[in-house]
């Protein structure tokens, strides 16, 4: 480089040194703005709760990731920020554990929510106060006094919000509106911390990393999604302890029940002990209905003008259940019922559920036997229900809560299985006389989607009001009139 070039460069430097760059360009090179904004957004996303489109799970996941990368960038500033870095790392791991808990049967555990909430409150407030002390140390290193202290205010706000949430004030707007206003002001003050730190002239100490914050954040988000959805899918396919089914030989008692009208397809799954209870049956009646989950609807218009009428016809689609309720009337006013069902198409592999209800006042009700069955690779298999229970529960409905004592069960079939079905044989009870009319309601919930977060037992969905309006729900209602009742009617 010759002398003329040096003189030219010197003239350029002298001409530009007094030019002030635009404010937006100064903000772009503010080293504090990015980590502080990341932490502030993390605080926002882990505080607000939107219960739709899975945002109650997605937003906190993004929030803890942003908080972590923010403190990761600041961990070399002082010991306080290093502690915050490890706390945010612990919160990452804790959130991953929470995701697993929510999507698995662990979600059904009776965990003291108040105690867990109190522990989380302490950790949150502890984090804010350490953050405050870390910022104060930065100001001290720059020879400045920290005038703004939004983190102390956000600590007080968090404590107040927790105690309001566990009181009746949580249901009033008088408490909600002021809390939201203060929250917005506090968040705005936290965002301004980055600008204030830039004014101190204190430069961030570089924290070299092998993986960028953006890559680390995206890896964590992907990990949470994969682990959360994967564990939920795994536990929504209930495992069966299956064994190969060998059709029984035809005995005299089986022939007798067949002659009385017992369906042969259902009878083949009953053991000899069951047949011994039913051998003296005095009457057998069968009620059948095809439950269609995806019917093809066709309309037929008849008449004309004001006398026109439209008739809807439902034809079976690809997903159907053949529901059969078998009533077995015995001597001494005893009634047995066998609920038999078999799939006609469809894939019942993601925790389906059934419920049987009738007259709860009848005494001596009891489950006698039950089984699931299916075929796979040209072999027949059978297995017990993974969950089968008869107990009193409260059910919500349009008319309010009611107390019932149903039989409920959940189950799944293996992938690749065919000809799936099952049965429950139960003693309806002993009637007060031989003149009676009793109902049986068979309800079925079919889960076609493998992911359902939070995790819930499918049989518990029957107890929630309004679920009967779902397309995944079907029912088969029937009644049985005893021989004594028929004689009286005649």
Range of the domain at 69: 14-236
Contact partners, residue 218, CB within 8 Å, separation at least 6: none
Q: Are residue 130 and residue 224 in the same domain, yes or no?
A: yes
Domain boundary residue, one of 188, 213, 236: 236
**pLDDT exceeds 70 at position 399:** yes
CA–CA dist 283, 60 (Å, integer) = 61
What percentage of the chain has pLDDT greater than the value 70? 86
Per-residue pLDDT, 208: 61
Q: How many residues does the chain have?
A: 490
H/E element, 400: none
CA–CA dist 341, 325 (Å, integer) = 8
Per-residue pLDDT, 420: 96
What percentage of the chain has pLDDT greater than the value 90? 47
Q: Are residue 210 and residue 263 in the same domain, yes or no?
A: no
| Cβ–Cβ < 8 Å for 66, 39 | yes
Residue at 3 is within a domain = no
- Give me 189's structure tokens: 């003050």
- Give me 341's structure tokens: 């069902």
Q: Are residue 322 and residue 427 in the same domain, yes or no?
A: yes
CA–CA dist 162, 156 (Å, integer) = 10
pLDDT in tens, 416-459: 999 999 999 999 988 989 999 999 999 999 998 999 999 999 99
H helices of 342-465, where? Answer: none
Mean pLDDT of the chain: 84
Tell me which residue of 336, 317, 349 sits closest to 440, measured CA to CA.
336
Q: Are residue 251 and residue 331 in the same domain, yes or no?
A: yes
pLDDT in tens, 132-146: 888 888 878 777 777
Is the pTM higher than 0.75?
A: yes
Please, which pLDDT band fits residue 289 given cuts at 50, 70 and 90?
Answer: very high
Q: Are residue 334 and residue 229 in the same domain, yes or no?
A: no
- Give me 120's structure tokens: 């989380």
Q: Are residue 427 and residue 483 in the same domain, yes or no?
A: yes
Determine how many CB atoms are found less than 10 A away from the CB of residue 203: 12
Residue at 4 is within a domain = no
Per-residue pLDDT, 233: 96
More confident residue, 327 or 399: 327
**pLDDT exceeds 60 at position 2:** no
Q: Are residue 307 and residue 429 in the same domain, yes or no?
A: yes
Alpha carbon dihedral 460, 466, 472, 473, in 10-degree steps, equals 80
More confident residue, 148 or 162: 162
Q: Are residue 57 and residue 198 in the same domain, yes or no?
A: yes
Contact partners, residue 306, CB within 8 Å, separation at least 6: none
Q: Are residue 303 and residue 201 in the same domain, yes or no?
A: no
| Cβ–Cβ < 8 Å for 436, 484 | yes
pLDDT in tens, 18-44: 555 554 444 444 567 788 888 888 888
Domain boundary residue, one of 205, 236, 267: 236
Ranking 76-80, 178-182, 233-237 by mean pLDDT, the lowest is: 178-182
Residue at 7 is within a domain = no
DSSP state of 22: P
**SS3 for 387?**
strand
For tokens 């249901």, the residue is 171
Q: What's the number of domains the chain is made of?
A: 2
Q: Are residue 81 and residue 104 in the same domain, yes or no?
A: yes
**pLDDT exceeds 90 at position 121:** no
CA–CA dist 477, 355 (Å, integer) = 12
Q: Are residue 250 and residue 225 in the same domain, yes or no?
A: no
H/E element, 25: helix 23-28
What residues pair up with 371 in beta bridges, in sequence order?
Answer: 423
H helices of 17-78, where? Answer: 23-28, 33-47, 55-74
In three-state form (DSSP H/G/I as H, E/B as E, the rest C), the secondary structure along 222-274 is: HHHHHHHHHHHHHHHCCCCCCEECCCCCCCHHHHHHHHCCCCHHHHCCCCHHH
Residue at 425 is within a domain = yes
Displacement of CA 186 from its chain's centroid (Å) = 33
User: DSSP characters for 96-133?
Assistant: HHHHHHHTSGGGGS---HHHHHHHHHHHHHHHHHHHHH
Please, which pLDDT band fits residue 131 given cuts at 50, 70 and 90?
Answer: confident
Residue at 77 is within a domain = yes
Per-residue pLDDT, 28: 47
Degrees to nearest 5, angle at CA 444 with 439 and 448 = 170
Residue at 72 is within a domain = yes
Residue at 2 is within a domain = no
Alpha carbon dihedral 157, 158, 164, 170, in 10-degree steps, equals 100
Ranking 124-138, 274-288, 381-395, 468-482 by mean pLDDT, the lowest is: 124-138
| Cβ–Cβ < 8 Å for 75, 85 | yes
Contact partners, residue 126, CB within 8 Å, separation at least 6: 87
Q: Are residue 416 and residue 283 in the same domain, yes or no?
A: yes
**pLDDT exceeds 60 at position 1:** no
Ranking 217-226, 447-456, 466-475 by mean pLDDT, the lowest is: 466-475
Distances (CA, A) of 176 to 97, 180, 264, 363: 31, 6, 64, 52
Residue at 360 is within a domain = yes
Mean pLDDT of 38-51: 80
What residues pair up with 422 in beta bridges, in sequence order?
Answer: 341, 372
Per-residue pLDDT, 41: 86
Domain boundary residue, one of 236, 266, 294: 236
**SS3 for 286?**
strand
Examine residue 454 and say whether the peptide bond preceding it is cis (omega within 30 degrees of 0): yes
């Amino acid at each position: 480089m010759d002398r003329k070039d040096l003189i030219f460069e010197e003239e350029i430097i002298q001409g530009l040194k007094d030019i002030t760059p635009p404010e937006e360009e100064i903000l772009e090179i503010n080293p504090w703005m990015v980590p502080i904004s990341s932490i502030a957004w993390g605080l926002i996303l882990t505080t607000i709760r939107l219960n739709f489109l899975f945002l109650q799970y997605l937003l906190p996941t993004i929030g803890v990731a942003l908080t972590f990368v923010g403190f990761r960038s600041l961990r070399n500033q002082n010991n306080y920020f290093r502690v915050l870095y490890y706390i945010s790392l612990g919160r990452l791991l804790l959130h991953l554990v929470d995701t697993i808990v929510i999507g698995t049967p662990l979600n059904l555990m009776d965990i003291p929510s108040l105690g867990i909430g109190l522990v989380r409150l302490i950790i949150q407030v502890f984090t804010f106060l350490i953050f405050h002390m870390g910022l104060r140390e930065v100001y001290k290193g720059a020879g400045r006094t920290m005038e703004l202290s939004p983190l102390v205010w956000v600590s007080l706000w968090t404590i107040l919000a927790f105690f309001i949430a566990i009181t009746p004030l949580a249901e009033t707007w008088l408490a909600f509106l002021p809390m939201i206003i203060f929250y917005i002001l506090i968040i705005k003050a936290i965002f301004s911390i980055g600008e204030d730190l830039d004014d101190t002239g204190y430069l961030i100490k570089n924290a070299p990393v092998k993986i960028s914050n953006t890559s680390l954040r995206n890896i964590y988000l992907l990990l949470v999604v994969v682990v959360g959805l994967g564990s939920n899918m795994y536990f929504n396919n209930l495992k069966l302890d299956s064994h190969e089914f060998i059709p029984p030989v035809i005995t005299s008692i089986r022939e007798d029940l067949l002659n009385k009208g017992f369906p042969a397809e259902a009878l083949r799954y009953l053991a000899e002990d069951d047949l011994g209870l039913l051998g003296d049956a005095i009457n057998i009646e069968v009620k059948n209905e095809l439950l269609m989950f995806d019917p093809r609807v066709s309309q037929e218009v008849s008449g004309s003008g004001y006398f026109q009428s439209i008739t809807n016809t439902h034809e079976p689609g690809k997903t159907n259940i053949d529901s059969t309720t078998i009533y077995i009337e015995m001597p001494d006013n005893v009634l047995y019922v066998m609920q038999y069902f078999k799939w006609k198409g469809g894939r019942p592999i993601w925790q389906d559920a059934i419920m049987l209800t009738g007259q709860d006042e009848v005494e001596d009700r009891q489950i006698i036997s039950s089984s699931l069955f299916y075929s796979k690779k040209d072999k027949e298999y059978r297995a017990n229900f993974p969950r089968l229970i008869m107990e009193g529960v409260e059910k919500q409905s349009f008319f309010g809560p009611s107390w019932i004592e149903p039989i409920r069960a959940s189950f799944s079939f293996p992938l690749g299985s065919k000809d799936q079905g099952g049965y429950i044989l139960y003693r309806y009870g002993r009637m007060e006389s031989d003149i009676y009319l009793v109902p049986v309601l068979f309800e079925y919930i079919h889960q076609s989607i493998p992911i359902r977060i939070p995790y819930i037992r499918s049989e518990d969905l029957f107890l929630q009001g309004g679920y009967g309006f779902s397309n995944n729900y079907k029912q088969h209602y029937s009644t049985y009139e005893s021989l004594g009742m028929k004689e009286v009617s005649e």
